[in-house]
Amino acid sequence: MSAPVVRVASVHKTFHIPGAWPWSPKRAVEAVKGVSFDVAPGEKIALVGQSGSGKTTVSRMVLGLEAPTSGVIELEGQPWSALSESGRRQRRARYQYVPQDALSALDPQQTALEHVVESLTVLAGATRSEAEQRAAAMLDRLGLGARLNALPREMSGGEQRRVTLARVFALEPALVVADEPTSGLDADRQDAVLHDLFANLPASAGCILVTHDMKQARDWCRRALVMLEGEVVEEVSMPEGSPIHPYSRMLFDPWGDHDFSHSRAR
**Alpha carbon separation from 106 to 4, 60, 72, 100, 227 (Å, rounded):** 31, 19, 32, 12, 30
111-169: pLDDT as tens digits: 999 999 999 999 999 999 999 999 999 999 999 999 999 999 999 999 999 999 999 99
The CA distance from 160 to 200, in Å, is 16
Question: CB-based contacts of 186: which residues, under 8 Å, 6+ apart?
Answer: none
Q: In the predicted model, what is the mean pLDDT of residues 167-174? A: 96
φ/ψ (deg, to 5) at 176: -125, 130
**Domain residue spans in the chain?**
6-252
42-56: pLDDT as tens digits: 999 999 999 999 999
Q: In the predicted model, what is the mean pLDDT of residues 235-253? A: 89
DSSP 8-class letter at 4: P
The answer on pLDDT for 250 being more than 80 is yes
What pLDDT, on the 0 to 100 scale, is given for residue 85? 81
pLDDT band at 8 (very low <50, low <70, confident <90, very high): very high
Q: pLDDT higher for 68 or 258?
A: 68
72-105: pLDDT as tens digits: 999 999 888 778 888 888 888 999 999 888 999 9
Q: Per CATH, is 6-252 categorized as 3.40.50.300?
A: yes
Q: pLDDT higher for 264 or 196?
A: 196
Using DSSP's 3-state secondary structure scheme, residue 5 falls into coil
The answer on pLDDT for 261 being more than 60 is no
What pLDDT, on the 0 to 100 scale, is given for residue 265? 35
The answer on pLDDT for 264 being more than 70 is no
Closest CA to 194 of 219, 176, 222: 219
Which residue(s) pair with 96 in the sheet? 176
Q: In the predicted model, what is the mean pLDDT of residues 26-54? A: 95
Q: pLDDT higher for 214 or 231?
A: 231
Which residue(s) pair with 225 in the sheet? 47, 235
pTM: 0.89
